[in-house]
């Protein structure tokens, strides 16, 4: 039941997103579009409530409960980022807005961007870890919580792996094409004195 709900929440996320952006840019119903986009977090609340209800009714904690915690954590950390990114693209393509800003591709600006993404992953991992720990406490000593503990280790491994990847952008920054101007805000530029 929890796996089907996770799939339904993911489908619902994209349906609400398409309806919200369509209402906002195709039909010019800005408020309706905003309300539809603001309904996105309700899906995660439903998933959280059903997962807790499932555990309360005696379901053996399993991988599906860990996956639900990971999904909620990911959505908390990256949901708004994804909506904002797609909103910029929809505004550009459907309403003639400016093209969305692309992430930097080279040097320290790219390293800062990757570091920011890693911090989002840390936030999502913290949420997922806390939910998993809450589930462990909720189940208590009466049930087998090994699958929930296993997902906690998975969360920590994901944070470490993404941190290593982000660190490579800092240690070995990708150089821009020869003769190109440095990109990004706040980057030092050579100026004649």
The rounded Cα 72 to chain-centroid distance in angstroms is: 9
70, part of any domain: yes
186, part of any domain: no
177, part of any domain: no
Structure confidence at residue 180 as a pLDDT band (50, 70, 90): low
User: Residue 128: what pLDDT?
Assistant: 95
Structure confidence at residue 191 as a pLDDT band (50, 70, 90): very low
184, part of any domain: no
For the chain, give the percent of residues with pLDDT over 70.
92
Cα diameter, the chain:
74
User: Residue 181: what pLDDT?
Assistant: 59
The residue among 185 and 182 whose pLDDT is bigger is 182
191, part of any domain: no
Domain ranges, residue 110: 2-171
CA dihedral sign, ordered 130, 135, 140, 145: negative
119, part of any domain: yes
Length of the chain counted residue by residue: 193
Instruction: Kindly report which listed range (7-21, 44-58, 91-105) carries the lowest average pLDDT score.
Output: 44-58
192, part of any domain: no
Q: What is the pLDDT of residues 79-132, one digit of tens each?
A: 999 999 999 999 999 999 999 999 999 999 999 999 999 999 999 999 999 999
Structure confidence at residue 74 as a pLDDT band (50, 70, 90): very high
9 has a pLDDT exceeding 70: yes
83, part of any domain: yes
Q: Read off the pTM.
A: 0.83
Whole-angstrom distance, CA of residue 58 vs CA of residue 158:
30
Whole-angstrom distance, CA of residue 3 vs CA of residue 24:
31
Domain count for the chain, please give it: 1
Q: What is the pLDDT of residues 128-169, one digit of tens each?
A: 999 999 988 988 877 788 889 999 999 999 999 999 999 999
């Amino acid at each position: 039941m929890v796996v089907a709900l996770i799939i339904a929440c993911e489908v619902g996320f994209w349906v609400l997103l398409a309806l919200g952006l369509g209402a906002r840019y195709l039909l010019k119903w800005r408020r309706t579009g905003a309300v539809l986009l603001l309904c996105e977090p309700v899906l995660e609340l439903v998933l959280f409530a059903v997962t807790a209800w499932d555990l309360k009714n005696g379901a053996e904690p399993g991988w599906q409960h860990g996956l639900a915690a990971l999904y909620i954590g990911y959505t908390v950390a990256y949901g708004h980022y994804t909506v904002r990114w797609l909103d910029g693209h929809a505004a550009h393509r459907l309403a003639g807005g400016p093209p969305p800003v692309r992430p930097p591709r080279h040097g320290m600006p790219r390293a800062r961007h990757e570091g920011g993404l890693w911090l989002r992953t840390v936030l999502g991992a913290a949420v997922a870890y806390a939910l998993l720990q809450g589930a462990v406490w909720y189940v208590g000593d009466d049930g087998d919580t090994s699958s929930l503990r296993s997902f906690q280790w998975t969360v920590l491994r994901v944070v470490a792996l993404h941190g290593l990847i982000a660190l490579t952008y800092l240690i070995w920054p990708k150089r821009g094409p020869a003769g190109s101007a440095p990109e990004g805000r706040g980057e030092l530029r050579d100026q004649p004195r």
